[in-house]
Amino acid sequence: MIGVIGKMKKLSFIGGLILLLSGVGSCLKVSAAESAPTQDATFLALGMTNPPAGRFAMFCLSNSTAVHFACSPQAIELAGTNGWRRMSLTGKALGLTRKWIGIPEELKPGEAITFMVPPPVTNGTWRLIFMCQEQKLLIDPVTDVVKHLTDTNAANHQLRQFSGRRYFLRTPDVGS
Domain boundaries, the chain: 1-36, 42-136+163-175
Given CA atoms 57, 89, 130, 138 in this order, what sign does their dihedral have? negative
**In Å, what is the CA distance from 86 to each residue of 18, 21, 76, 113, 127?**
58, 54, 6, 25, 10
* pLDDT value of position 26: 37
CA 122 to chain centre: 32
C-alpha distance from residue 76 to each of 14, 52, 79, 141, 167 (Å): 63, 24, 10, 39, 16
Query: 93, 44, 57, 47: which is closest to 72 by C-alpha?
Result: 93
| pLDDT by position in tens, the chain (length 176) | 555 555 555 545 454 444 333 443 433 333 334 444 566 788 899 999 987 878 999 999 999 888 888 898 999 999 999 999 999 998 887 788 888 999 888 899 999 999 999 998 878 899 999 988 888 665 556 666 666 565 655 444 445 566 678 889 999 999 86
Q: Give the pLDDT confidence score for residue 174 in this predicted structure.
A: 92
42-136+163-175: in CATH 1.20.950: no
**C-alpha span between 167 and 165 (Å, rounded):** 7
